[in-house]
Structure 1
Amino acid sequence: MSNLKEIRSRITSISSTMKITSAMKMVSAAKLKKAQDRMSNIQPYAEALKTTIQNLLPNVNHSEIKLTKQFTEKQKILIVAITSNRGLCGGFNANILKKSKELKNQDIEVWSIGKKSADLFSRNQYRVIKKENDILDNPSRLLSQKISQEIIDEFLIGKWSKVILVYNKFKNAATQIVESTPILPITINNIDDVPDKTAQDYIFEPDKTSIINRLIPNQIHTQLFEAILNSIAAEHGARMTAMHKATDNANDLKQNLTLAYNRQRQAAITNEILEIVAGAEALNS
């Protein structure tokens, strides 16, 4: 059993750890609010853009739409994996790798967004072809568009047959949903499933095909940026939850150690009293 000095040292150490985890929880809570606001601002635009494209697609000749078909016979897949730059957020980063492993026995390359993504996939023998870390600290539409445009350009020259976006979607502070979303090539909904909002006599200027070929890249830019904002909000939620649990666990451990410390101290005091009494009795006799 540990002596009193060791237990006292552990209690001090755990108290310091509790202060750190509690502070990290509060910082993440503050950042989460800001991330949620950014995420909610882009959602109406992203949904309206997607609906507009899916309404127009069934009325356009598909052979004239660039990004609805593959440009290579090779079945090579690009995974755009979005994680965090930092740890201490539970299974937030590991879940991305676990989801990616569902694509078994395929030729896969990884476009890493987040330091943890590059580390995880490299350790598991994936080919990481690009690393983007700065965008998570300062999320920017322009930087996100630069990344997505580079992906589109390389898809058009036949580097990959499919591009899949893997990220944590924010649900609430305690829950993140791991999403695996194909972004290229663009899928066309069944015409019967899409409300026909273009059946009226609209005049398009320029023509529908030109409009679609301008809107689809914009949708991909928006989809990637929305996924990055979702991932940032989910990261802060996951870290806040993890630090809350860590603080609670540290508090339980501190209470148990305090109890053990008090018991040992009381036992030491009792032993000293017994020794004094025994010594006094020996002198009297």
Structure 2
Amino acid sequence: MANLKEVKERINSVSSTQQITKAMKMVAAAKLRRAQDKIIQMRPYSQKLTAILNNISSGSEGSTDIVYAQERAVGNVLIVPITSDKGLCGAFNSNIIKATMATLENEYAGKAITIMPIGKKAFDYFRKKSYPLKADYYQLFEDVSFDNVKRAAEEVMDAFVSGQYDKVILVYNEFKNVATQIVVKEQFLPIVKTASEETSQQQQDYIVEPSKEYIIEELVPNSLKIQFYKAVLDSNASEHGARMTAMSKATDNAAELLKELKLIYNRTRQAAITNEILEIVAGANALESSD
């Protein structure tokens, strides 16, 4: 059985850890509220913009008029895994890395793969791999703003148009709620067209001015930048939700461990007191016998 000093030191250590995890949970909760507000406000705009784009671009000309929708033989692929800068958020980062590696090995084996990590965790992992790394934007989460994300999106879009990449894939966590983050693998480029009966029916509701071509030319790049920004915001909110959940569980586990340690401490203390009493009684008996 451990001595009292060891148990007491461990109790103090677990108690200090519990205070840290509780503080981190509160910080994550505060950051989550702001990040959640951003993604909730962004989603309706992004969804409506995408719906209008699909409606306008689903005409008779098809997708050939849009440079960002040109289908090519896939030889060069850019994959953008979006992780966090910090850990202590459960399986948040490892899920993205696993999904990215599965995509590389299963879907694009034999292709020329380039990795564009966003988030230090993705950068730290993939810089040790043999894949070419485009590491200009891995510190994007130090200042999450549309202007910063827009520059990254524009560079990716220009590289696709120039033929440097034939396909661009985003891998990120989609925020559902505090406890649920869903790993999403999304084709960013070329644009995936959806032509449904509902879309065809809704097309009659739009009057396009000054021309369909002008609207597409202006709308498509903005829609892609918004889509990229939404993925970053989703990942940002998911990170804080995952960290809040992880720190909440860690705090609860520390509380359970403290209960066990205090029980061990009390038992050890009682055993030590009992031993001391037995020694005193044995000493007194020995004295009486000698007399």
TM-score under structure 2 length normalisation: 0.92
1:188 positional shift: 1.6
1:92 positional shift: 0.4
* Residue deviations 1:242-268 (CA, integer Å, cap 9, x gap): 111111111222221111111111111
1:59 is paired with a residue whose SS is coil
2:57 is paired with a residue whose SS is helix
Q: Does the Cα contact within 8 Å between 2:74 and 2:167 map onto a contact in 1?
A: no
Residue type of the partner of 1:33?
R
For the pair 1:171 / 2:144, whether they are aligned, the reply is no
* Residue deviations 1:10-59 (CA, integer Å, cap 9, x gap): 11111100000000001101111111111111112111100101111121
1:213 positional shift: 2.2
1:116 positional shift: 0.5
CA distance in 2, matches of 1:241, 1:127: 34
Residue type of the partner of 1:126?
Y
Q: Percent identity?
A: 46
Which aligned pairs between 1:191-210 and structure 2 lie closer than 5 A?
Answer: 192=197, 194-199=199-204, 202=207, 204-210=208-214
Out of 150-159 and 127-136, give the one that drifted further. Answer: 127-136
2:86 is paired with a residue whose SS is coil
For the pair 1:130 / 2:135, whether they are aligned, the reply is yes
CA distance in 1, matches of 2:228, 2:206: 34
* Residue deviations 1:205-261 (CA, integer Å, cap 9, x gap): 332122112211111100111111111110000000111111111122222111111
CA distance in 2, matches of 1:160, 1:79: 10
1:144 to 140, 143, 149: 149
For the pair 1:213 / 2:217, whether they are aligned, the reply is yes
1:196 is paired with a residue whose SS is helix
Out of 76-85 and 250-259, give the one that drifted further. Answer: 250-259
For the pair 1:162 / 2:172, whether they are aligned, the reply is no
Q: Does the Cα contact within 8 Å between 1:55 and 1:196 map onto a contact in 2?
A: no
* CA spacing shift, 1:111–1:60, aligned 2, 3 Å: farther
1:192 positional shift: 3.5
Out of 153-162 and 136-145, give the one that drifted further. Answer: 136-145
For the pair 1:274 / 2:278, whether they are aligned, the reply is yes
* CA spacing shift, 1:191–1:5, aligned 2, 3 Å: closer
Alignment-derived partner of residue 79 in structure 2: 79
For the pair 1:251 / 2:252, whether they are aligned, the reply is no
Q: Does the Cα contact within 8 Å between 1:66 and 1:213 map onto a contact in 2?
A: no
Q: 5+ unaligned residues in a row in structure 2: which ranges?
A: none
Alignment-derived partner of residue 25 in structure 1: 25
1:80 is paired with a residue whose SS is strand
Q: 5+ unaligned residues in a row in structure 1: which ranges?
A: none
Q: How many equivalent residue pairs?
A: 283
CA distance in 1, matches of 2:253, 2:127: 32
CA distance in 2, matches of 1:29, 1:172: 12
CA distance in 2, matches of 1:131, 1:112: 9
1:195 is paired with a residue whose SS is helix
Alignment-derived partner of residue 35 in structure 1: 35
* CA spacing shift, 1:248–1:52, aligned 2, 3 Å: same
TM-score under structure 1 length normalisation: 0.94
Q: Does the Cα contact within 8 Å between 2:178 and 2:244 map onto a contact in 1?
A: yes
* Residue deviations 1:70-97 (CA, integer Å, cap 9, x gap): 4x64521111111101110011001111
CA distance in 2, matches of 1:75, 1:201: 38
CA distance in 1, matches of 2:148, 2:251: 36
Q: Does the Cα contact within 8 Å between 1:78 and 1:162 map onto a contact in 2?
A: yes
1:123 positional shift: 3.1
CA distance in 2, matches of 1:201, 1:116: 44
1:60 positional shift: 4.9
Residue type of the partner of 1:28?
A
CA distance in 1, matches of 2:202, 2:178: 37
**Coordinate RMSD, CA, aligned:** 1.7
* CA spacing shift, 1:200–1:280, aligned 2, 3 Å: closer
1:230 to 231, 234, 238: 234
Q: Does the Cα contact within 8 Å between 2:123 and 2:138 map onto a contact in 1?
A: no
Alignment-derived partner of residue 126 in structure 2: 121
CA distance in 2, matches of 1:120, 1:206: 48
Alignment-derived partner of residue 3 in structure 1: 3
1:84 is paired with a residue whose SS is coil
